[in-house]
Structure 1
Amino acid sequence: MEFKTLLVEIKDRIALVTLNRPPVNAQNAEMRADITACFDELSDREDVACIVLTGSGKVFSAGADIRERPNLGATPGAYGRHNRLVRESYYAVVECSKPVIAAVNGPAMGAGFGLVMGSDIWVASEDAYVSMPEINVGLAGGVTFLQRVFSQSRARRMFYTGMKVDAKELYRLGLIEACLPADELLPYAMEIARDMASKSPIALRLAKEAARMTMVMPPRDAYRYEQGNTVALSKTEDAKEAQRAFLEKRAPVYTGR
């Protein structure tokens, strides 16, 4: 997989995706198209069980490339196309069939924080922080997702002021799995990824689907949905192998069937 703004490495059923648009991984139309194409492909690849998403350099992503903004209003339809690209790059991460771990190696601002919020699991380096600074350039976006993650008061304070929340505070709030020195971040994220990659591929896919879908379902429907997944999984070869391996005290060998 080759992209102009991303680096992708696949090894041992783990895809490492690195945002790579120096100096601060600002997201332009090209990067957003690359993100969408990349996650769509990884979603379908049988040799990928899970994904680690990080940034090159010392910034995860500074968000939208503001240099694209001034000319959008000059051409009819340009804003619509721009907004569609933004939405689709975010939802390519959210809707990916594989779990995504965000290894936040530095500031994640605006749309950069959006990619983190679209991921399943978050870990961060000690020098990382998140923010929605759109208000500082006369814009306003992102409160939809802020209010799903933070309390009403904190979400709105961040939205109205562009306030930064550092990794230590995110860890204190229980929003990230770990706050680590920079050199320990990627190894920790890859350790989580290896644990995921050792599971049944079909069970992991349905687990990701259930985690996403049940967030938008009433509790009763969500519970029934999960039970349906369990019934379907119980009929797979992987489930039978997992149960045999448990009884025989050995590691299971999965086939994805």
Structure 2
Amino acid sequence: MPVTTKYPEPGVAVITVDEPPVNALPVRGWFDIAHEVTAAGQDTACHVVVLRAEGRGFNAGVDIKEIQRDSGYDKLVGANRGCAAAFSAVYDCPVPVIAAVRGFCLGGGIGLVGNADVVVAADDATFGLPEVDRGALGAATHLARLVPQHLMRALYYTASTIDAHQLHHHGSVYQVVPPDRLDEAALALAHRIAAKDTRVIRAAKHAINGIDPQQVHRSYRYEQGFTFELNLTGASDEARRRFVDEGKGA
């Protein structure tokens, strides 16, 4: 399975994504993340979740080639719904979710990280939304939770990336460590949280979400509406076709 859950120590659920070669997830993968995160949060023995990935990077977004192979729009709709489900599962998880990020974190990866409670990153981690180059919109909602408003806009319009040290400067990455220490650092933080009274921590998560100034569910679905408009105009098809053709030549 591309998404699995293990309990390396009491109270700590580690959810691992492994979808070679770059963790660009098909529709099924997004719903798998939603299922595993939701199941962990509903388990009273779970006090904290660590979301991590194997392979070359944390997440490369949706599997655009899967969408292009579909003669209709089922995979596009599925990817949009799957991303919304996965992002919501992280945000709504009754216990804190720690994102452990290494390598690239792109597109849908920003949605996962932006909705996480704490981000620990390897010093090789980079974050960005290439959506405008793919003829889509989305996850500005989540990028805006990582960087200030005007920087978010610049990164979004240019499809540029920002590194872990820069995000640490802005306060959205809690800790930056060498890649070979990432899992250790994420588990150490998880251990500290898991040692607290889970009744209090669960209440704290609920309370913090309740005072969040950004309504992440509604704003993300609002963004997705423009993706569907771009598909109707043909702009998205052209952008995805260029992306797939460039990949074939690589």
TM-score (norm 1): 0.78
User: Do structure 1's residue 167 and structure 2's residue 164 form an aligned pair?
Assistant: yes
Gaps of 5+ in 1: 218-257
Partner of 1:120: 117
Are 2:110 and 2:142, in contact at CA under 8 Å, matched by a contact in 1?
A: no
Paired with 1:147 and 1:96, the residues of 2 have a C-alpha distance of: 20
Partner of 1:142: 139
- Aligned residue pairs total 213
Which protein has the larger Cα radius of gyration, Structure 1 or Structure 2? Answer: 1
User: Do structure 1's residue 82 and structure 2's residue 42 form an aligned pair?
Assistant: no
Q: Which amino acid aligns with 1:53?
A: L
Alignment of 1:30-69 (within 5 A): 30-69=28-67
Q: Which amino acid aligns with 1:40?
A: T
Aligned CA-pair RMSD? 1.7
Are 1:140 and 1:159, in contact at CA under 8 Å, matched by a contact in 2?
A: no
Query: Percent identity, aligned pairs only?
Result: 31
Paired with 1:215 and 1:204, the residues of 2 have a C-alpha distance of: 16
Shift of 1:61: 0.6
Shift of 1:43: 1.2
User: Do structure 1's residue 178 and structure 2's residue 175 form an aligned pair?
Assistant: yes
Partner of 1:232: none
Shift of 1:149: 3.0
Match of residue 199, structure 1, among 192, 196, 201: 196
Partner of 2:185: 188
Shift of 1:70: 2.2
User: Do structure 1's residue 213 and structure 2's residue 236 form an aligned pair?
Assistant: no
Larger relative contact order (Cα-Cα within 8 Å, sequence gap ≥ 6)? 2
Q: What do the CA deviations read for 1:28-54 (whole angstroms, capped 9, x no partner)?
A: 111112111111111111111001111
Shift of 1:79: 4.0
Q: Which amino acid aligns with 2:28?
A: E
Gaps of 5+ in 2: 215-250
Paired with 1:174 and 1:165, the residues of 2 have a C-alpha distance of: 13
Shift of 1:200: 0.8
Q: Find the residue that maps to 1:9 and give its secondary structure.
A: strand
Partner of 1:228: none
Partner of 1:229: none
Paired with 1:94 and 1:209, the residues of 2 have a C-alpha distance of: 10
Match of residue 99, structure 1, among 96, 101, 107: 96
Q: Find the residue that maps to 1:92 and give its secondary structure.
A: helix
Partner of 1:152: 149
Q: What do the CA deviations read for 1:114-136 (whole angstroms, capped 9, x no partner)?
A: 11111100010010010001112
Partner of 1:248: none
Partner of 1:24: 22
Shift of 1:73: 6.5
Are 2:111 and 2:143, in contact at CA under 8 Å, matched by a contact in 1?
A: no
Shift of 1:212: 1.0
Q: Which amino acid aligns with 2:72?
A: A
Paired with 1:92 and 1:161, the residues of 2 have a C-alpha distance of: 29
Shift of 1:24: 1.1
- Say if 1:64 and 1:78 are closer, same or farther in 2 by CA, change over 3 A: closer
Q: Which amino acid aligns with 2:31?
A: A
Are 2:114 and 2:145, in contact at CA under 8 Å, matched by a contact in 1?
A: no
Shift of 1:7: 2.5
Q: Find the residue that maps to 1:190 and give its secondary structure.
A: helix
- Say if 1:81 and 1:185 are closer, same or farther in 2 by CA, change over 3 A: closer
Shift of 1:71: 4.8
Are 1:142 and 1:159, in contact at CA under 8 Å, matched by a contact in 2?
A: no
Between 101-110 and 144-153, the greater mean CA deviation after superposition: 144-153
